[in-house]
Structure 1
Amino acid sequence: MPFDGFFTHAMVHELNQTLQGGRVSKVNQPYPAEMVMVIRANRHNYSLLISANPSYPRIQITQIPYQNPAVPSNFAMTMRKYLEGALVKEVAQIENDRIVKLTFSTLDELGDPLELVMMVEIMARHSNVTLVNAKTGKIIDAIKHVGSDVNRVRLLLPGAAFIMPPKQPRFNPYLPNQIYSDLVRELKDDPIQLAKKLQASYQGLAPETASELAAELLASDSLPSAYQTFLRHFEAPQPVLITNEKNKTSFAAFTPINTADLKVQSFATLSELLDAYYVNKAQSDRTKELAGQVLKVVHNELKKDQRKMKKFQKELADAADADRYRIRGELLTTWLHQVPRGAQSVELPNFYDENRPLKITLQPDLSPSRNAQKYFTRYNKLKASVKYVNEQMAITQKEIDYFETILSQIDLANPSDVQEIRLELQQQGYIKAKHKKGKKQRKIPVSKPEVFHAADGTVILVGKNNLQNDRLSFKTANKNEIWLHVKDMPGSHVVIRDSNPSKETILQAAQLAAWFSKGRDSAHVSVDYLPVKNLHKPSGAKPGFVTFRGQKTLSVTPKKLPN
């Protein structure tokens, strides 16, 4: 069941019961299209997540932690100015549509009462969050600005008059009606067509919800009773997470009629249900969204380095053929008296291949001896360049390995990890740091590695980015503890907090190291392990880069342990 008008109805009922009368204490915008308001109500702090993300738009109370960006957005600053300290008067739904109206009561700058309305539109790519002055009807700000170049009728810009989205010509299902009864009589033998007609007739009815309504109507002897029972599902929901035989999950406000071959998990609230459903889906999307600039920088640097490598490889290929220039110089020097001045080429006996004379190209404006010298100069330059080119190729290859490691870390990262990856690239000079005039830049602390436990309870730490890896390997870990890393590919630093772990613990830590690496999807991954004291970080090396000796290697299948 998607987040349609009926699910919105149930969620609004839950939020109104929980948050009405509460006071906004904090407003944050951890992700570009999402905001979080901390509301103190009934002696509890609730984090209200309002998302206009086109893939996962919703409104709910969340317990999933988030990390704020170093510099708050203009939208976040505006919301803090108007909403912090405001009372939540009401959470309401506009008819049975996917529009939620939050009404706040606060004081303006002069201390006079001020009523604010936040309109949350849960409409896929058209989703938005807009704060409006209730008295004037003017928009204070919107999380997504929509100008006249996008929509000439409905501007969503500060100072513009707020206009409701176009209303669909469908009936509000919570008003008295007999539409369902007429449709069942007409289409009782065609459940699929009945569901389509119900969806076309009522507001807020997604295809899955319409199919469930059709099934309940057809299974009952009393149509009015079945219809009212269906509506009551959203007044007193029993949230469930449904997993089908293909391991795909969906959420619903109540258990569907047909649950054969389905795994059903119950939750106390709709918000807890959405946290469970979105914990991986939304986190992955948020990570990619936050990592947009990082990915662009990394891909651009990788392309530059790959072009460099092709250039160096061509130079090495030319240097490998340097002897052809030496031979031509030697032949010109040996047979100098046979070389006519002003000639464009000459054919001379070749003492390296007596059966085949060699034709040599000349520059007619140079003397024969100068032509010979030019060939020797070219030969010497190519031979001398080999050492330099090899050095530059080694440096460039290290940089390619570094950026491939960054890409691998982003694939495995949480949103909080992306900020540290960005910070690392700023420290390395790949991303320019933003500084606001007159404000001291807030230092981002390096977060702690992820903690896991082996079967015997031994703690295993896993670094999720290079800054964490360096701190874990050279500051957190003791010298006799065991360090692990996948062999010859990007991956996390892993430390077993024990100087003499069991073979089973080493195996489980190796499986973790393989899981948090580029080889996660492989069946067999080689993992090196050794005491931390055998690690070394070369001077000037990039974050996360280490050298080591005395390692042992084992092959494992990647597997994530419970935290």
Structure 2
Amino acid sequence: MMFDGLVMAAVATEFRQNLLGARVDKIYQPSKLELIMTMRQPGRNITVIASCQPEAARVHITHTERKNPLVPPAFCMLLRKYLIGSRVMHVKQLGLDRILMITFLRSREDTPKTLVVEVMGRHSNIALVDDASSMILDSIKHISADVSRVRQMGPGIQYVQPPAQDKLNIVFVSKEDLDNVLCKSQENTPSMSLSRFLVSSLAGFGRESADRVLREAGLVPDNPCSELDPDSRGRLWDVLMRLADSIRNGSFLPCPSELLDSAYSLKNEEYALSRQKAELLDAVDSNIARCKRKWKAQDDEISQANQDLESRKLGELILANAPRIGTGMSSATLTDYFDPQGKDIEVPLDPTLSASENAQRYFKRYARAKRVLETAALQVTMTQAELEYLEQVSITIQHADTQRELGAIRVELTEQGYLQAVAEKTAKRKRPKAKGEVALLSFTVHDYTVIVGRNNKENDLITMKISRPDDIWMHARGIPGAHVVLRTGQTKDEVSEGALLVAAGIAAYFSKGRTDSKVAVDYTLRKHVKKPRGARPGMVTYDHQRTVMASPNLPVSGIMQ
């Protein structure tokens, strides 16, 4: 639902019907660009949200609860200072713009204060203005001259309304004015669509409102305005006048807050999920890049160590030819006694060292290379295991659909040391422990139950604790993915090929190969799956496997939580 000037008109009407005379009880700021105000009317509380988040800028009555932060921001503290205990005196919309002004008064001795909510996409803002001086007491976003030369917002700055747009207001417009604007548009921009014409010519119209009006008038929104004949103009005028009447009498879009609350609650959940995913992926991806750099450095070190194994031979040759080597020589041509053919070899030397010291330098290089090679294999294996684990976590994050799943991943990453634990000031309060078992994702496939691990802890749980030795364990071959277990129960009958293919499709779907047409999936009995000592969550080894090619798909029915 697009929040345009017409929606703001409906919100303003609803505010006048519900908020006039209401006393401000509570104010808090749940996020940097979001404000919550609770107002008291006889027998009921009314909560208002005002947000200037670019992707969800709006103002309306809300029933959605939000967390009150422990430490209120400075803007919130200022609003509490001036508005707590005051009452709503006026609610005004600036024309049909997306600007709402709510005026509060605490007592007759006080100066009225106006909360200005500007819903203008990335330029949205919320400001508290002193009515006597028109001075901004503070704004939720400070806009300096460096950011905007046209209009600044911040404490001590005179409040100036946004520059007026040269658009018609349908509440006051005449048919002649609308015809004149349409004629100019048909002459100058005949290919402009009807929808775009309304948006660019009439105040308060967004694309959704324009399309709705045009369809009600029997017109196609994408048709060019040059095709608008007199009959079509008449139908459009009638619809616009009915809309203007509904705005004047307050019948346009009754109960807009319910629609906005529902639409933006879902949008906020999607945004919060996307934001949490991005945060976790950023942490995981940076560690994946670190592991890859570490692996390359280890490979380079191993390569250099293999070359340095020749240093022992060079040291022996220097000692054997020590009388021929003097200080100041940068290299020496020596007979290679280790070569059956006795060929000469050029040996680089440090001219500042004697023959004996040069030999010792080569022996030290050899000793270091030997130490590196003794531990390198283990270090590379550990780096590869960490990289495999992080890539698995990355896929799990990308496939997560709920904040609960992301929360479990965040706990796992914190326990593994990839994220710092957030020290809350409420840590002294003991959080209630979750009751019952973890809600696992499962499917019914050909009368079998198939369980899926949506994170590494769930992978460990279903593989190492829940599944039985004769259950069938599945995993996408060679790529990150979820553990999938097909529970065979007590039956000794062989699982049908159809059930195996469907279960393999689930394993392919919950893997990095989700977008591929076919994915190789390994399956084996659970008793052939082992977890190495000290392995990270979700990391296992397996054998006795078979491989099947499966399409990444979920069963049409039979999904259980």
- Aligned positions of 1:20-169 closer than 5 A: 33=33, 51-58=51-58, 74=73, 93-100=93-100, 119-129=116-126, 144=141, 146=143, 150=147, 164-169=161-166
Match of 1:541 in 2: 535
Structure ID, larger Rg: 2
Match of 2:344 in 1: 357
Match of 1:345 in 2: 331
The separation in 1 between residues aligned to 2:483 and 2:110, in whole angstroms, is 56
Deviation string, structure 1 residues 108-140 (Cα, Å, up to 9, x no partner): 9xxx99999765433221234567899998889
Contact kept in structure 2, 1:70 and 1:444, CA below 8 Å: no
The separation in 2 between residues aligned to 1:496 and 1:89, in whole angstroms, is 65
- CA spacing shift, 1:211–1:438, aligned 2, 3 Å: closer
Match of 1:182 in 2: 180
Match of 1:433 in 2: 421
Match of 2:386 in 1: 399
Residue 349 of structure 1 and its aligned partner are, at CA, apart by 1.9
Contact kept in structure 2, 1:37 and 1:47, CA below 8 Å: yes
The separation in 1 between residues aligned to 2:503 and 2:27, in whole angstroms, is 40
AA of the residue aligned to 1:177? S
Match of 2:553 among 514, 537, 559: 559
Residue 393 of structure 1 and its aligned partner are, at CA, apart by 1.8
The separation in 2 between residues aligned to 1:299 and 1:465, in whole angstroms, is 17
The separation in 1 between residues aligned to 2:486 and 2:26, in whole angstroms, is 39
The separation in 2 between residues aligned to 1:28 and 1:498, in whole angstroms, is 54
Match of 2:367 in 1: 380
Contact kept in structure 1, 2:75 and 2:138, CA below 8 Å: no
Deviation string, structure 1 residues 133-157 (Cα, Å, up to 9, x no partner): 9999888976545466545786666
Deviation string, structure 1 residues 244-276 (Cα, Å, up to 9, x no partner): xxxxxxxxx9xxxxxxxxxxxxxxx8459846x
- CA spacing shift, 1:493–1:524, aligned 2, 3 Å: same
Moved more, 388-397 or 197-206: 197-206
Match of 2:519 in 1: 525
Contact kept in structure 2, 1:93 and 1:100, CA below 8 Å: yes
Deviation string, structure 1 residues 277-332 (Cα, Å, up to 9, x no partner): x95x7656433433555444334433333332222111111122234323323333
Contact kept in structure 2, 1:287 and 1:410, CA below 8 Å: no
Contact kept in structure 2, 1:183 and 1:197, CA below 8 Å: no
Deviation string, structure 1 residues 333-381 (Cα, Å, up to 9, x no partner): 4444544565432212224163741111223454434433432332232
Contact kept in structure 2, 1:29 and 1:72, CA below 8 Å: no
The separation in 2 between residues aligned to 1:193 and 1:514, in whole angstroms, is 46
AA of the residue aligned to 1:361? P
Match of 2:475 among 482, 485, 496: 485
AA of the residue aligned to 1:388? T
Deviation string, structure 1 residues 401-427 (Cα, Å, up to 9, x no partner): 333333333333346244444433333
The separation in 2 between residues aligned to 1:21 and 1:458, in whole angstroms, is 63
- CA spacing shift, 1:397–1:221, aligned 2, 3 Å: same
Residue 392 of structure 1 and its aligned partner are, at CA, apart by 1.7
Partner of 1:378, secondary structure, is: helix
- CA spacing shift, 1:323–1:438, aligned 2, 3 Å: closer
Partner of 1:526, secondary structure, is: strand
Contact kept in structure 1, 2:30 and 2:69, CA below 8 Å: no
Contact kept in structure 1, 2:298 and 2:380, CA below 8 Å: yes
The separation in 1 between residues aligned to 2:453 and 2:165, in whole angstroms, is 51
Match of 1:226 among 239, 256, 259: 239
Match of 2:275 in 1: 289
The separation in 2 between residues aligned to 1:158 and 1:476, in whole angstroms, is 61
- CA spacing shift, 1:307–1:453, aligned 2, 3 Å: closer
The separation in 2 between residues aligned to 1:187 and 1:129, in whole angstroms, is 35
Residue 214 of structure 1 and its aligned partner are, at CA, apart by 6.2
AA of the residue aligned to 1:390? A
The separation in 1 between residues aligned to 2:473 and 2:124, in whole angstroms, is 47
Contact kept in structure 1, 2:11 and 2:60, CA below 8 Å: yes
AA of the residue aligned to 1:315? E
- CA spacing shift, 1:223–1:427, aligned 2, 3 Å: closer
Partner of 1:528, secondary structure, is: strand
Residue 558 of structure 1 and its aligned partner are, at CA, apart by 1.8
Is 1:205 the counterpart of 2:205? The answer is yes
Deviation string, structure 1 residues 41-74 (Cα, Å, up to 9, x no partner): 9x999998765332344467899x9996997874
Residue 382 of structure 1 and its aligned partner are, at CA, apart by 0.8
Match of 1:248 in 2: none
Is 1:320 the counterpart of 2:306? The answer is yes
Contact kept in structure 1, 2:298 and 2:376, CA below 8 Å: yes
The separation in 2 between residues aligned to 1:424 and 1:136, in whole angstroms, is 55
AA of the residue aligned to 2:237? P
The separation in 1 between residues aligned to 2:500 and 2:87, in whole angstroms, is 54
The separation in 2 between residues aligned to 1:70 and 1:471, in whole angstroms, is 35
Match of 1:371 in 2: 358
Residue 386 of structure 1 and its aligned partner are, at CA, apart by 0.9
Is 1:465 the counterpart of 2:455? The answer is yes
Contact kept in structure 2, 1:345 and 1:361, CA below 8 Å: yes
The separation in 2 between residues aligned to 1:102 and 1:198, in whole angstroms, is 29
The separation in 2 between residues aligned to 1:505 and 1:35, in whole angstroms, is 53
AA of the residue aligned to 1:488? G
Q: Over aligned residues, Cα RMSD in angstroms? A: 5.4
Partner of 2:520, secondary structure, is: strand
Partner of 1:319, secondary structure, is: helix
Match of 1:192 in 2: 192
Contact kept in structure 1, 2:477 and 2:522, CA below 8 Å: yes
Match of 1:307 in 2: 293
The separation in 2 between residues aligned to 1:418 and 1:114, in whole angstroms, is 48
Match of 2:284 among 298, 319, 324: 298
The separation in 2 between residues aligned to 1:552 and 1:560, in whole angstroms, is 21
The separation in 2 between residues aligned to 1:84 and 1:539, in whole angstroms, is 60
Partner of 1:359, secondary structure, is: strand
The separation in 2 between residues aligned to 1:381 and 1:285, in whole angstroms, is 53
The separation in 2 between residues aligned to 1:482 and 1:377, in whole angstroms, is 54
Structure 2 residues without counterparts, runs of 5 or longer = 220-227
Deviation string, structure 1 residues 507-553 (Cα, Å, up to 9, x no partner): 44433333333222222222334555655444443333333445443
Partner of 1:393, secondary structure, is: helix
- CA spacing shift, 1:162–1:553, aligned 2, 3 Å: farther
